[in-house]
Every structure is written in structure tokens, then in C-alpha cells.
């Protein structure tokens, strides 16, 4: 899809001699455009849920919520969290260093008994704020247990309660990761014109669904227009974006 998007963007720019964007600039704009489309999934899903609650949304083939949910679940990842130090109840949150992915949103945290040969699920931890965990721990009736654990976040670290949850492989996080950075890779021909080459080791296509290709084109055109200081390109991108949004969400 990434080559199709780039060809469309260049076609629009070249039609009126607006200018040319280099492969490196295109990759930067493509990265930002994909993040925007990705983040819109969550706001669109929230709007559709509100519409369903108001009985204003369709079902079956008209179930837009299902379509967006499937797109979001493409980025679902479950990883075992690494301890900050052995024997503590503090674990590193998902990141490029710890799990291989940066997280956009943590959906749930699962705690396991990892003392035996196989892991056994204890319970799903509830996220609470710092002031609430202090009050919960101060009472025997409300203090988190291994069956009903809780956790707080601080920076890139998660602290799980009770503190008896303190072994490796005892805490998993199911989260939605950010999409991988797209990269249009190429080989340079003798006349200096780059040619698409997806066999390169660092090649990466877009991860958003194919039906969002037009959104990527529109958003990349907006960034390209800002780069080459062409207001008409920016306005074209904005007008197309508004036209696409109006039929779905009024």
C-alpha cells in the first residue's frame, strides 16, 4: 500500500507543478499520518458506541463499530512484563526496550502464579490512582489480594499490589501498541530517480487497513503542502478530509 500512497501523493503534487518530496520526507510524513489515522480509530469507536446506545447505528453489514474494533485489535499485543529488580512488585511498562513495542493504551493487566511448572491465572488487576491505593492498603477489608490485585503507574513503571506478586513472569499486560513506522524503500537508478524496492531489509508497509489509504494520502498531502509552502495543497487536503468525515459522523 505504501507505494500506491506515494504515487498518488506525487501525482497530485506534480499535476500543478507544486513540487517534489524526497523519500526521506515522505517517510516522515507517512509516519505522522499513520499515527493520526491510528488515534482516530479510538475516537471513532467511542462515537459509534454512543450512537449504538442512542439506537442510531446499524447492525450486520452496517455495523461500523465492528469494523473499527477489528482495525484496533490488529494492534493488540500481550507481553510478560520485566521486573525493575528481583523480588520486587515493580515492573517495567511495555516499551521498545522491554517488550519490543511502545504502548498506546494498556487494556488489562493479568497476574499469574508462576511458582510452579505452569503459570496459573490469579486475577485481573485493577488500575487505581496513587491516593486510592493508599486508602485501599490501609484497610484489611479493601486491601488488594492476589485474587483481586491492583496496580498504579508512575513514569515507565507499574507497581502491583499486593507486594507478594513479585516473581518473574507473574505479570502480563495486554495493550494496544503503536503501529510500526512505515518506510518506503528504494534503489537509485542511473538518472537519479528512486525506484520502489520492497526487498530492502528496512522496508515497512503501512499497518492500517487498506480502506484508510485515502486518509493517508490526504494527511500526507497536508504535510507536503506545509513543507513546500503551498497553501492550496494544504487546503485541498483539509477539504477532502472534511468531505470524508461528514457522511459518517455529523
Residue 250 lies in a domain: no
Of all residues in the chain, what percent carry a pLDDT higher than 90? Answer: 41
Of 28, 2, 51, the residue nearest 186 (C-alpha): 2
**What ranges in the chain are assigned the alpha helix state H?**
2-15, 23-53, 64-73, 130-137, 213-227, 231-245
Q: According to the model, what pLDDT value does residue 157 have?
A: 93
Residue 211 lies in a domain: yes
Instruction: Please state, in angstroms and as integers, the Cα–Cα distance from residue 23 to each residue in 16, 29, 117, 199, 227, following that order.
Output: 20, 10, 51, 16, 14
Residue with cell 519490543: 100
- Tally the domains of the chain: 2
pLDDT grade, residue 233 (50/70/90)? very low
Of 233, 222, 219, the residue nearest 182 (C-alpha): 219
Residue 14 lies in a domain: yes
Q: Has residue 61 got a pLDDT over 90?
A: no
Judge if 65 and 96 occupy the same domain.
no
Of residues 39 and 116, more confidently modeled = 39
Highest mean predicted confidence (pLDDT) among 58-62, 171-175, 184-188, 216-220: 171-175
- 77-92 confidence digits (pLDDT tens): 999 999 999 889 999 9
Residue 92 lies in a domain: yes
pLDDT grade, residue 112 (50/70/90)? very high
Q: According to the model, what pLDDT value does residue 56 have?
A: 58
Instruction: Please state, in angstroms and as integers, the Cα–Cα distance from residue 113 to each residue in 12, 32, 159, 214, following that order.
Output: 57, 41, 17, 47
Judge if 88 and 207 occupy the same domain.
no
Q: Using the Cα atoms of residue 9, residue 196, residue 32 and residue 62 in order, give the sign of their dihedral.
A: positive
Q: According to the model, what pLDDT value does residue 211 have?
A: 86
Q: According to the model, what pLDDT value does residue 247 have?
A: 47
CA 103 to chain centre: 7
Judge if 170 and 86 occupy the same domain.
yes
Distance CA 245, CA 250 (A): 8
Q: Could you list the residue range(s) of the whole structural domain that residue 122 is in?
A: 76-177
Q: Has residue 216 got a pLDDT over 50?
A: yes
**Is the separation of the CB atoms in 57 and 64 below 8 Å?**
yes
Judge if 62 and 86 occupy the same domain.
no
Judge if 172 and 188 occupy the same domain.
no
| Residue 179 C-beta-side C-alpha neighbours within 13 Å | 25
pTM of the predicted structure, to 2 decimals: 0.75
Q: According to the model, what pLDDT value does residue 179 have?
A: 93
Chosen domain end from 127, 162, 177: 177
Amino acid at each position: 500500500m505504501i507505494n500506491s500512497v506515494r504515487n498518488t501523493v506525487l501525482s497530485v503534487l506534480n499535476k500543478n507543478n507544486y513540487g517534489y518530496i524526497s523519500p526521506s520526507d515522505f517517510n516522515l510524513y507517512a509516519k505522522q499520518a499513520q499515527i493520526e489515522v491510528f488515534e482516530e480509530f479510538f475516537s471513532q469507536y467511542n462515537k459509534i458506541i454512543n450512537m449504538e446506545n442512542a439506537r442510531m447505528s446499524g447492525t450486520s453489514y452496517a455495523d461500523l463499530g465492528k469494523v473499527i474494533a477489528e482495525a484496533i485489535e490488529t494492534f493488540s499485543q500481550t507481553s510478560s512484563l520485566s521486573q525493575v529488580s528481583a523480588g520486587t512488585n515493580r515492573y517495567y511498562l511495555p516499551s521498545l526496550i522491554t517488550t519490543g513495542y511502545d504502548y498506546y493504551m494498556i487494556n488489562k493487566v493479568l497476574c499469574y502464579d508462576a511458582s510452579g511448572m505452569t503459570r496459573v491465572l490469579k486475577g485481573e488487576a485493577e488500575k487505581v490512582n496513587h491516593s486510592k491505593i493508599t486508602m485501599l492498603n490501609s484497610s484489611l477489608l479493601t486491601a488488594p489480594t492476589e485474587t483481586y490485585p491492583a496496580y498504579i503507574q508512575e513514569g515507565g513503571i507499574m507497581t502491583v499490589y499486593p507486594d507478594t506478586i513479585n516473581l518473574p513472569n507473574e505479570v502480563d499486560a495486554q495493550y494496544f501498541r503503536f503501529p510500526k513506522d512505515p518506510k518506503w524503500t528504494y534503489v537509485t537508478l542511473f538518472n537519479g530517480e528512486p525506484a520502489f524496492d520492497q526487498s530492502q531489509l528496512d522496508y515497512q508497509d503501512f499497518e492500517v487497513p487498506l480502506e484508510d489509504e485515502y486518509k493517508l494520502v490526504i494527511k500526507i498531502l497536508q504535510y507536503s503542502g506545509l513543507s513546500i509552502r503551498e497553501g492550496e495543497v494544504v487546503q485541498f487536503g483539509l477539504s477532502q478530509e472534511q468531505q470524508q468525515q461528514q457522511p459518517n459522523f455529523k
